[in-house]
């Protein structure tokens, strides 16, 4: 057994197999999607809930933010369903 056949499933290289590459890429993509979603929701909910920024976050502002996040996720679901039920 030579050094090129260790630790990979057939076609990959010794240090870094195709499977490992795909797994790492999936993790990174998931992180990127989550990051992007966070930024979008942050922008939308800031606009809706923090209309006049005060010296601290009020209780009504923070409950607005929670509702806003929930509704934004729900809205994403509605839009996604429309896009995929019509095909």
Partner 1 sequence: MDPSALNSPDLQRFLNQEKEKAMVNEMVAKLTSVCWDKCITGTPGNKFSSSESACLSNCAQRFMDLTMIIMKRIQSMQ
40-55 burial: b if 16+ Cβ within 10 Å, else e: ebeeebeeebeeeeee
Residue with tokens 């934004």: 72
Q: Which residues contact 3 (CB under 8 A, 6 or more apart)?
A: 14
Smallest gap from Cβ 67 to partner 1, in A, equals 5
Smallest gap from Cβ 55 to partner 1, in A, equals 21
In the complex with partner 1, the residue whose CB is nearer, 1 or 83, is: 83
Interacting residue ranges for partner 1, rule: CB under 8 A: 11-13, 15-18, 21-22, 25-26, 29, 33, 36-37, 40, 44-45, 48-49, 64, 67-68, 70-72, 74-76, 78-80, 82-83, 86
Residue with tokens 């994403």: 76
Smallest gap from Cβ 87 to partner 1, in A, equals 9
């Amino acid at each position: 057994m030579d050094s090129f056949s260790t630790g990979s499933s057939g076609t990959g290289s010794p240090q870094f197999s195709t499977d490992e590459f795909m797994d790492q890429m999936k993790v990174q993509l998931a992180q990127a999607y989550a990051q992007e979603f966070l930024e979008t929701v942050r922008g939308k909910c800031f606009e809706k809930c923090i209309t006049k920024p005060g010296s601290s976050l009020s209780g009504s502002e923070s409950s607005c933010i929670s509702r806003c996040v929930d509704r934004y996720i729900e809205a994403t679901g509605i839009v996604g369903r429309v896009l995929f039920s019509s095909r």
